[in-house]
Amino acid sequence: MVCRNESVFNMRPLECATLMFLILILFENVNGKNQLFPLVDNEEIPRNKIRGAECVFDKTVRELGSVWIPDLGPPIGILPCMRCKCISVQKKRRIVAKVQCENIKSQCPVPSCEEPVAAPGRCCKVCPGDISPDAIQDIVPQPAMELDEKSNKHFVVLLTGRNSLVTKNELFKPIAAMHKNNVVATGRLSFYKRHLYYSFYVSENVARPQSLQFLDPQGNILEEFTLSYPGGYINSVYQNASRKVCGSWRRMAKDYRKLLKQEKMYVMLVWGSKDQAEFTLSGLIIRHGALQTELLSSLLEPAPGSDALAISGSGGTAMVSISTSVTPSINVAIIFNGLFLPTEMADVPINITLSMDERRQVVLQEVVRISKPATDLNIINISTSITQAHLRYLTRGRVVLSLASVSRPETLKLSGSVVTKAACEIFQSTLSSSNNPNPDGVAGMAWLYLNNQGSLVYNIQIDKLPPKENPPVITLIDMSSKKRTELEDLTPYFHGDGWANGTLEKLSPRVLEPLYSGDLSINVATTSDNSLIKGRLAAKPVDDVRDTPNPFLLKRDFYNLSTAAVGLAWLSVDMDCHLHYDIALAGLGSERKLELWLEMYPLIAPGAPYISKKLESFQGNSIEGFPVELLMKDELIRLENGVSFLKLKDADTKIVLLIATATKVPIPPQCRPYTLQDNSILNLYDSPQIISTGECYFEEKFYKHEEIWVSSKNPCQMCYCQNGNTKCDFMTCPEINCLDGKKVTIEGECCPVCVNNSIPTRDTSGRKCSLSGKYYLPGTRFHPFMIPMGFDLCTECYCDPSDYEIRCSRLNDKKCCKNCNEKFDQNDPLSDDIVPAQQLEFSVKNHGSEYSKKKENIAAKVLEQGGCKNPINPKKPFPNGSEYHPFIDNLGEYKCVSCKCQNGVAHCNRQQCDPQTCKKIVDVKKRKEKINPSDFCCSLKECRKLRHRKKHSVMS
């Protein structure tokens, strides 16, 4: 695009140059250069990590190969003659995405008619009946994409040191594959709705890998994922219990889906840093029919006693399927390498053995011949019938699978236990009453998973179960036939708090098969109802959102809703600081339009400030999302240390239908906004920046910025809120002499009052004087509370019982002489400034109402011209544009605050503590003179904080 006199947009050169500048700024931001503008806090701008195979244009994620018309927003809007495309660019070993835009106006064909017309949103002018060449076609029709997913859904990979992949690091040096202890890994991958879910089993004698790379046949990195923190640590209940590596590749690009389908994509596990890998394992991702029915898996490693040098880099994996019919059977599909001698080129026999790990009893032994041995992948398949006893041992992880060379059976041998399926899966369900009567609104949820010992870990929550029905009867039911067979009783593990948590250690084959086929249900019965609530378990892949300690139960909040309405919600933050959520619903129907909202509180307390965030609008019984934007630091701190509410609203009526309480959502260490040296999170209220609205928390209540209040526990303590910090002071009551009465301190009041016939001990009218948010009984003498110094001991106020007005006066002793600088207008008899009561009475008697009316007319004219009201003296408003210090409740001019009147609105700012003011305070202290807080707008305490922040900034 070039800005000449004949600009492509028919603009003047200046307009074209401006447009180019805006586009360049936008493109620089899209390509991740994060152009920051002046006076913007860098911490408040989230550093959004976008995957290498994605482009982001105006907060919209685009996959590789996508084409779109750019929309720059107002005032420019849509540019119909521009076409942007997300293209791939090679950067050393990595493939990254980049936005490329071009003008297509020169590509428009010459019209065949005299008066061509450009359709709305199109660039080229065409004649009636012609097809515009600038239309953007859909890449893949949705039905065709869904059909492709069903036929190409499951994949397997064997990761060893023997494959055809050639890799190079950033410096183009070969990566050393130091396969210490002969490490092997296997993986299962499934593709669903443009997302690739991956699961890996790794040898037990090695730490967890630190990163995962997907590569093309040339060794270029297509995508990379961080799997663990330094040292192999990961905060995952499921992955630690199952010893698996789990995750997902979100929004997989069309070009990469094609590579996966053609079996041309590799995967690599990396130990060590990205720049210097300690060792790696890699393998080719392939399809296999046995994955559809796989129930058990095996990782085959070099067996004890084998030749470590000859078998180095070798390994295998097995996919095991079983049938629990009248005659139980087993099918084993095996992928392996490394069991061949250099001289064995064709028709090589391999011995396969299934045996009991303790009794050494052989379950299966068979010799299979490999016609053409391959270096990286060899595939064999066997089937046989077995006994029920062998089937039970098989599902409990007590059967060993072995592969050995017939020519050298002891030195060339792979073996491994048959354990739970390698895929990362959680089985979940909502529990509701469906069509049964449920007047109490009992509902629940359940989620289960298999650990590395093959045991079934289950967690069941039941809400609003009546005490008379407690405990319930909780059972696992096989729904595969009309008989509805009861398999396991979970009632003994039910607690009074509504939870049933336990482990089925000896898992039977009749539970495993319906579990994976989707025919296993949880039924909750009571003495009066044999099926109060129930739900069928569904398998869900473990990824970022389902890799948290537990989901949350969405309960009814709108009681006109059916009692069958319930939901199960997962909420998490991944290692890139993105929020993930997954919602499963029941009892709402599929036609209702819904909205999902997230409200985040520091804690549950009256008046607590919250952040409201709309996550998504949707329709149906489930929603899964992961917004592109990163969470801000105040949102992160509230998710981890506060309380959050997931609210499901009706999109039309905005009524909250279901609500879930989420406490302490785990946040990865690198996403925490405030950490100490020991990586512990700072206290929520030690850092005021955590709460974005600047509220203060005091005595279980929140107060707004600059709000003043009296302590509920001590009437002599007054506080105010400043930038999230609570600052309090205690009153010292003035001395009073009760000549014609007695001095009494009334309950709930701070200072005593003189009680006589005119001032009763108990106020029957309920009227009091008010000043700075505190109410005073008639006859009370007190010092006023001023921000930021606290109580002003140089001013004394009195609540006049005759008219419930407050009269204040300055003290003229030596300690307050520096403050006696207010000069009142003695010539204005109607001034409402601080004057003695006798002078005010004299002025009213001698001037009368005529003068008052004249002043009122002048005041009204000032207000009409954009002046601001004077709350202390309505007859003396502030003119438009004037600057002044406000008068605080008859106490005179308050110089710590400066205001400016602009078109009827007063804009005020409080003077902040600065080094110059603090230096004056320090000089006074050095001269050993008494520091009067009224002389300055900040205190010694605030100066110390300012000095501390300055030192902390220099150290940082």
**Amino acid identity, position 453:** Q
Please give the full DSSP string across 455-493, using - where no structure is assigned: -EEEEEEEES--GGG-S-EEEEEE-SSTT-EEEEE-GGG
Local structure of residue 318 (DSSP, 8 states): E
Nearest residue to 767 via CA among 814, 806, 743, 801: 801
In a domain, 831, yes or no: no
In terms of pLDDT, which residue wins out, 764 or 502? 502
Residue 115 in this model has a pLDDT that exceeds 70: yes
So what's the pLDDT on residue 919?
A: 81
Q: Quick one: 500 and 415 in the same domain? A: no
Checking phi first, is residue 213 left (phi over 0); if not, alpha (psi -120 to 50) or beta? beta
In terms of pLDDT, which residue wins out, 759 or 220? 220
Q: Quick one: 57 and 90 in the same domain? A: yes
% of the chain with per-residue pLDDT over 70: 75
The C-alpha torsion from 250 through 251 and 255 to 260, rounded to 10°, is: 40
Could you tell me which residues are beta bridge partners of residue 331?
321, 383
- The pLDDT-based confidence of 911 (bands split at 50, 70, 90) is confident
- The pLDDT-based confidence of 659 (bands split at 50, 70, 90) is very high
Q: What is the chain's mean pLDDT, rounded?
A: 77
83-87, 187-191, 705-709, 878-882: least confident range: 705-709
Query: ∠ CA(381), CA(385), CA(387), 5° rounding?
Result: 135
So what's the pLDDT on residue 331?
A: 93
The structure tokens 């607690």 sit at: 495
So what's the pLDDT on residue 418?
A: 92
Q: What distance in Å separates the CA atoms of residue 301 and residue 177, rounded to the nearest whole number?
A: 16
So what's the pLDDT on residue 145?
A: 44
CATH code: domain of residue 555: 2.60.40
Show the tokens assigned to 890: 């008859």
- The pLDDT-based confidence of 683 (bands split at 50, 70, 90) is very low
Q: What angle, 0 to 180 degrees and rounded to 10, lies between the N-to-C axes of helices 915-926 and 940-955?
A: 120
In a domain, 132, yes or no: no
In a domain, 139, yes or no: no
Q: What distance in Å separates the CA atoms of residue 512 and residue 788, rounded to the nearest whole number?
A: 69
Q: Quick one: 575 and 661 in the same domain? A: yes
**Amino acid identity, position 681:** I
C-alpha distance across the termini of the chain, in Å: 45
Q: What distance in Å separates the CA atoms of residue 748 and residue 943, rounded to the nearest whole number?
A: 35
326-335, 424-433, 483-492, 674-683: least confident range: 674-683
**Average pLDDT of the segment spanning 607-631:** 85
Choosing from 107, 127, 156, the residue where a domain stops is 107
Element (H, E) at 255: helix 254-261
Local structure of residue 180 (DSSP, 8 states): G
The structure tokens 């996508």 sit at: 66
So what's the pLDDT on residue 823?
A: 36
Q: What distance in Å separates the CA atoms of residue 217 and residue 198, rounded to the nearest whole number?
A: 19
Q: Quick one: 902 and 926 in the same domain? A: no
So what's the pLDDT on residue 648?
A: 95
Residue 405 in this model has a pLDDT that exceeds 90: yes
Q: Which residues contact 675 (CB under 8 A, 6 or more apart)?
A: 669, 681, 682
Based on its alpha-carbon atoms, the radius of gyration of the chain, rounded to whole angstroms, reads: 38
CATH code: domain of residue 452: 2.60.40.200
Q: Quick one: 211 and 254 in the same domain? A: yes
Show the tokens assigned to 640: 């981890």
- The pLDDT-based confidence of 506 (bands split at 50, 70, 90) is confident
- Asked if the peptide bond before residue 829 counts as cis, ω within 30 degrees of 0, the response is no
With beta carbons less than 8 A apart as the criterion, state whether 256 and 355 touch. Answer: no
pLDDT tens-digit map of 152-164:
589 999 999 887 7
Of the ranges 491-500, 651-660, 771-780, which is most confident?
A: 651-660
Exposure letters 365-398 (e unless 16+ CB within 10 A, then b): eeeeebeebeebbbebeeeeebeeebbbbbbbbb
- The pLDDT-based confidence of 215 (bands split at 50, 70, 90) is very high
With beta carbons less than 8 A apart as the criterion, state whether 872 and 905 touch. Answer: no
Residue 941, exposed/middle/buried by CB under 10 A (0-12, 13-18, 19+)? exposed
417-431, 757-771, 878-892: least confident range: 757-771
The structure tokens 């909420």 sit at: 571
So what's the pLDDT on residue 235?
A: 73
Q: What distance in Å separates the CA atoms of residue 337 and residue 164, rounded to the nearest whole number?
A: 12
Residue 25 in this model has a pLDDT that exceeds 50: no
Nearest residue to 610 via CA among 598, 597, 600, 623: 600
Total domains in the chain come to 8
With beta carbons less than 8 A apart as the criterion, state whether 742 and 779 touch. Answer: no
**Average pLDDT of the segment spanning 798-826:** 65
With beta carbons less than 8 A apart as the criterion, state whether 187 and 198 touch. Answer: yes
In a domain, 116, yes or no: no
In a domain, 681, yes or no: no
Choosing from 269, 287, 305, the residue where a domain stops is 287
Nearest residue to 884 via CA among 904, 854, 906: 906
Residue 627, exposed/middle/buried by CB under 10 A (0-12, 13-18, 19+)? middle
- Sign of the alpha-carbon torsion through 240, 245, 246, 251: positive
Q: What distance in Å separates the CA atoms of residue 203 and residue 415, rounded to the nearest whole number?
A: 12
With beta carbons less than 8 A apart as the criterion, state whether 877 and 859 touch. Answer: yes
With beta carbons less than 8 A apart as the criterion, state whether 70 and 56 touch. Answer: no
So what's the pLDDT on residue 521?
A: 95
Q: Quick one: 326 and 416 in the same domain? A: yes
Could you tell me which residues are beta bridge partners of residue 861?
none
In a domain, 119, yes or no: no
52-66, 73-87, 668-682: least confident range: 668-682
At residue 860, the 3 state secondary structure works out as helix
**Average pLDDT of the segment spanning 54-74:** 78
With beta carbons less than 8 A apart as the criterion, state whether 691 and 634 touch. Answer: yes
Show the tokens assigned to 573: 């933050």
Show the tokens assigned to 247: 């995750």
- The pLDDT-based confidence of 794 (bands split at 50, 70, 90) is confident
**Average pLDDT of the segment spanning 765-792:** 78
**Average pLDDT of the segment spanning 113-129:** 81
Extract the runs of DSSP E, i.e. beta strands, from 371-507.
378-385, 399-405, 413-420, 425-431, 443-450, 456-463, 473-478, 485-489, 499-504
Q: Quick one: 465 and 388 in the same domain? A: no
pLDDT tens-digit map of 441-495:
889 999 999 988 888 999 999 988 876 656 789 999 999 888 888 889 888 878 7
Checking phi first, is residue 651 left (phi over 0); if not, alpha (psi -120 to 50) or beta? alpha
Q: Quick one: 855 and 926 in the same domain? A: no
So what's the pLDDT on residue 146?
A: 46
So what's the pLDDT on residue 204?
A: 87
Provide φ and ψ at 343, rounded to 5°. Answer: -85, -10
Q: In the sheet where 425-431 sits, what is the strand order? A: 499-504, 456-463, 443-450, 425-431, 538-541
- Domain limits for position 199: 145-287
73-82, 204-213, 369-378: least confident range: 73-82
CB neighbourhood size of 701 (10 A): 14
In a domain, 690, yes or no: no
Residue 318 in this model has a pLDDT that exceeds 90: yes
In terms of pLDDT, which residue wins out, 762 or 948? 948
Q: What angle, 0 to 180 degrees and rounded to 10, lies between the N-to-C axes of helices 388-395 and 509-517?
A: 60
Q: What is the pTM of this model?
A: 0.64
Q: Which residues contact 430 (CB under 8 A, 6 or more apart)?
A: 443, 444, 445, 535, 566, 567, 568, 584, 585, 586
Residue 437 in this model has a pLDDT that exceeds 80: no
28-37, 104-113, 516-525: least confident range: 28-37
**Average pLDDT of the segment spanning 813-841:** 41
Q: Quick one: 579 and 499 in the same domain? A: no
pLDDT tens-digit map of 285-306:
999 989 989 999 999 999 988 8
In a domain, 115, yes or no: no
- The pLDDT-based confidence of 760 (bands split at 50, 70, 90) is low
Choosing from 819, 847, 874, the residue where a domain stops is 819
So what's the pLDDT on residue 943?
A: 78
Element (H, E) at 151: helix 142-151
The structure tokens 């040339």 sit at: 218
Local structure of residue 78 (DSSP, 8 states): B
Q: Quick one: 925 and 905 in the same domain? A: no
Q: Quick one: 412 and 430 in the same domain? A: no
Q: Quick one: 395 and 476 in the same domain? A: no
